[in-house]
Structure 1
Amino acid sequence: MRFVLDPEMTPELFEELLSCWAEVTNAGGAVGFVPPVTPEDIRPTADRAFARTRAAAGPQAPDSLLVGFGDDGAPGAWLILGDNGSGLRAHWRWLLRVQVHPKHQGKGYGRALLLAADDAARSLGLEALQLTCRGGTGVDRFYASVGYQEVGRVPRSIRVTPGDDRDEIYMLKWL
């Protein structure tokens, strides 16, 4: 996997990322939606998310997009390094929409993506990365395996479906 920070957001790349997002969601990934979804269901959120990235809006945009391209040239993993909107917190970013295409699951691409995010953050002069994840998925153990520590938890704050409330887990990694 070849990682690129802030690649040019072509219409083709946008559609590939959108398709990946839908496929990750439909495979059970906790990336902001509940399956089943189509790319059209996600498009309004994707439009807003990508509009904040340097890849789409230029060097003055607050967020950065990190994309891992597979041997076939298609995006296989991606995330957003999201600005937190505060000068007092300019030394860290949020990791948003962290995802690996289902066809690449189990190949170590998730770990590679997070290590590439560490490198990207350091290249931006950052000192830490923070993320949230959905409780009950086990993904918090994965994040812990690459150096993230749980720093907080909000019980039952994510409602997947009526009667299925999950904790939102806050995790932090100092670089």
Structure 2
Amino acid sequence: MLVRRIARPMLAAMFVVGGLSQLRRPAAKVATAAPLLDAVGSVVPLPADQATLVRANGAAMLAGGALLATGRVPRVASTLLAGSLVPTTIAGHPFWSETDPARREQQKVQFLKNVGLLGGLLLAAVDTEGKPGLTYRARLMGQGVQRSLRTTRREARHLTHAAAQEARLRTAQAQNALS
């Protein structure tokens, strides 16, 4: 559909540009990401070099953005981008910790913009392009297997019944021939 061909690259553009920026200049984002990385690092072991984590996030954004923009595995790409957007949003726009009202408002707008992007990514992640989703296909396949089993059982009963009739008929014919 034309809308998907236009909307996907539009949605992906920010992630491609942001991912390239994080890959090229991770130091610019390390200070911003440090509080979140420290908090997560206290619960889950993370590499000590925070620039590596910023680059990894940038690589995820670049790869996911490129895949989404080109329409290749768009559901997987959208899910990857959504996963990279959550920590980026929390670390990059903590409006709740700003004391300056103007700065707080600016951070809130950027936070809500990212929440809107997250909503778009979630929609893209569940978009099956009008085709049945995996759950539906699996259920349909399961119904087909069940139907095949019922048919096979029915045919086996008919064959057993027909074989028994044939055996009775031949037995009766053999007895008539002997008498």
Please report the TM-score for the alignment, with normalisation by the length of structure 2.
Answer: 0.34
Task: Tell which has more relative contact order, 1 or 2 (C-alpha 8 A, sep 6+).
Answer: 2
Please report the TM-score for the alignment, with normalisation by the length of structure 1.
Answer: 0.34
Q: Greater Rg, structure 1 or structure 2? A: 2
Which has the larger helix fraction?
2
